[in-house]
Amino acid sequence: MLDIVTCPSKDGRTMVGLHASQIGIDKDIMVVDFTDQSLIRTKLFGRKIGVESDLKVLMNPKIIYKSSEKVAGAESCFSERSEVFGIVERPESIFMKAVLQNGKSFKQPVKGFTSRIAQHESDHGKGRRFADYIDDPNDLHRVPEFLLSVYSCVPKKVWPIHFSKKEFAVIKERATPLPRP
């Protein structure tokens, strides 16, 4: 799992999280990038070169507290086509319990973008995908690779490239996967 997360895609992005179920492993294990997000500004969902990543393997993760304060933010997913992004509203901070790779227990608050990653990955363990939260087609965005850097800078509510009604329904319903471009 760590090898997959750290292997850059062809557009140079690296992943910030992965759940075992996404690669056919029937265990509740997830990798979450805890790297200080203030150091990651150059690429959307990608690490700035030279920044040491802080990947944690969390086994049997449990979210035991979710803040009532929610924030909307953009997400994408290894299990979707790379150009599928969406706006998801999630609790701003959570408190998590899990077991680390070394057998020690992990018990701490998780905030900001890391909290978003942890919630997204934890959802995979329950068979839930980020698109399940999106009901407004305007909140699901098509972001071609060459526009990624633009996407990371614009307010997401005004992003103009969306999916057709049919494509939106396919992404929502997990029907026949769209052909990869």
Residues taking part in catalysis? 121
Q: Which of residues 146-175 bind Zn ion (CB under 5 A)?
A: none
Residue range at the interface with Zn ion (CB under 5 A); choices 28-36, 70-78, 141-149, 155-163: 70-78
Which is nearer to Zn ion, 11 or 107 (by Cβ)?
Answer: 11
What is the distance between the alpha carbons of residues 58 and 48, in angstroms, rounded to a whole number? 23
Q: Does 30 bind Zn ion (CB under 5 A)?
A: no
Cα separation, 20 vs 23, in Å, equals: 6
Least distance CB 77 / Zn ion (angstroms): 3
Question: DSSP letters along 5-66, please?
Answer: HHS--TTS---SEEEGGGGT--S-EEEEE---GGG--SSTTSPPTTPPP-EEEEEEEEEEEE
Residues 6+ apart with CB under 8 A from 12: 43, 46
Are 111 and 92 in contact by the 8 Å Cβ rule? The answer is yes
- Mark the segment that binds Zn ion (CB under 5 A) among 39-47, 75-83, 84-92, 99-107: 75-83
Asked whether position 58 contacts Zn ion by CB under 5 A, the answer is: no
Does residue 143 bind Zn ion (CB under 5 A)?
Answer: no
77, 87, 110, 134: residue in contact with Zn ion (rule CB under 5 A): 77
User: Would you tell me which residues interact with Zn ion (CB under 5 A)?
Assistant: 77
